[in-house]
């Protein structure tokens, strides 16, 4: 199955460089459709003509982003070496209530 996800510039570039290998999302109905072996077409939010194609190599579900962050290094999550990886960063996308309701997912990807 092929899925399409939009990304802001920073995570898009981190995936393109091969640093970010974990895409983090809410584990809502749309993300529950993503399975190992599927393809994700990532589109740059500001210029959807720019795309990256990745294969889903694994999926891990967590209760919240605190739990997810504790299982991965910050580079894999899309942070630079000199940045502080903070699960609260995800609150600009997903509320605590949404995390409690759906859980969150770490989608392990590999560029094609």
What is the spatial distance between Cα 29 and Cα 26, in angstroms, rounded to a whole number? 9
Q: Calculate mean pLDDT across residues 93-106.
A: 97
pLDDT tens for residues 24-38?
A: 999 999 999 999 999
Give the distance from CA 24 to its chain's centroid.
3
0.85 surpassed by pTM: yes
Please tell me the total count of domains within the chain.
1
Cβ atoms of 68 and 25 closer than 8 Å:
no
Query: Can you give the CATH number for the domain in which 61 is found?
Result: 2.30.130.30
Q: Token pair of 40, please?
A: 């994700």
Q: Token pair of 64, please?
A: 């919240």
pLDDT tens for residues 29-80?
A: 999 999 999 999 999 999 989 999 999 999 999 999 999 999 999 999 999 9
Residue 74 belongs to domain spanning:
2-111
């Amino acid at each position: 199955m092929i899925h399409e996800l939009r990304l802001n510039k920073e995570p898009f570039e981190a995936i393109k460089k091969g640093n970010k290998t974990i895409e983090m999302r809410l584990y809502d109905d749309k993300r529950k459709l993503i399975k190992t072996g599927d393809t994700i077409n990532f589109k740059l939010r500001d210029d959807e003509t720019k795309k990256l194609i990745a294969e889903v190599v694994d999926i891990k579900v967590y209760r919240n982003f605190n739990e997810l962050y504790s299982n991965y290094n910050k580079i894999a999550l899309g942070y630079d070496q000199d940045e502080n990886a903070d699960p609260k960063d995800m609150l600009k996308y997903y509320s605590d209530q949404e995390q409690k309701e759906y859980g969150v997912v770490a989608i392990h990807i590999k560029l094609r």
